[in-house]
Amino acid sequence: MSCFVEIDGSYLEGGGQALRNALALSVVLNRPVRVIKIRANRPKPGLSHQHLHGVNLLRDISNAEVKGNVLHSTELTFTPHTIIGSMYKVDTRTAASITLVYQMVMPVLLFAGTTSRIDVMGGTNVSYSPQVEYMQQVLLPNLKRFGVNFDLKVLHYGFYPRGNGRCVLEVAPVRSLNAVQINDFGQFRAVRGSAYYSGRLPKCIAFDMQHSAEREIHRLWPDHECTIHVFKHPPDKARDNGAGIILTAVTSTGCIMGVATVGEKNIDGHMIGSNSSCELAGYIKNDICVDAHMQDQLIIYMALAKGCSSIRSGALTKHTRTAIYVAELMAGVKFNIEYGNFGQTLISCEGIGHCNAYM
Residues 220-239 pLDDT 10s: 999 999 999 999 999 999 99
DSSP 244-311: EEEEEEEETT--EEEEEEE--SS--HHHHHHHHHHHHHHHHHTT-SS-HHHHHHHHHHHHHSEEEEEE
- Burial letters for 285-311: b for 16+ Cβ neighbours within 10 Å, e otherwise? ebbbbbbbbbbbbbbbbbbbbbeebbb
Strand 76-79 to strand 116-122: parallel, antiparallel, or no bridges (unpaired)? Answer: unpaired
The candidate with the shortest Cα–Cα distance to 308, out of 327, 282, 284, 336, is 336
Distance CA 299, CA 280 (A): 21
36/60 same-domain check: yes
Host domain of residue 321: 177-183+289-359
Residue ending a domain, among 234, 250, 285, is: 285
User: Which residues does residue 36 pair with via DSSP β-bridges, in sequence order?
Assistant: 8
Ligand-binding annotation for 296, yes or no, is yes
Residue 264's pLDDT is 84
Give the confidence band of 99 by pLDDT, cuts at 50, 70, 90. very high
Count of domains observed in the chain: 4
Ligand-binding annotation for 294, yes or no, is yes
Residue ending a domain, among 37, 63, 82, is: 82
Axis crossing angle, helix 269-285 with helix 204-220, rounded to the nearest 10:
30
168/231 same-domain check: no
Residue ending a domain, among 82, 103, 135, is: 82
CATH of the domain at 129: 3.65.10.20
CATH of the domain at 65: 3.30.110
321/267 same-domain check: no
Residue 19's pLDDT is 95
The candidate with the shortest Cα–Cα distance to 290, out of 257, 319, 315, is 257
Distance CA 287, CA 201 (A): 37
Q: Is the pLDDT of residue 138 over 60?
A: yes
Axis crossing angle, helix 98-109 with helix 17-29, rounded to the nearest 10:
20
- Which residue type, as a one-letter code, is found at position 54? G
278/200 same-domain check: yes
44/75 same-domain check: yes
41/91 same-domain check: no
75/123 same-domain check: no
The mean pLDDT of 322-332, rounded to a whole number, is: 97
Ligand-binding annotation for 295, yes or no, is yes
Confidence (pTM) = 0.96
Give the confidence band of 342 by pLDDT, cuts at 50, 70, 90. confident
Give the confidence band of 2 by pLDDT, cuts at 50, 70, 90. low
Active-site residue set: 319
Residues 184-202 pLDDT 10s: 999 999 999 999 999 999 9
Q: What's the N-to-C CA distance of the chain in angstroms?
A: 32
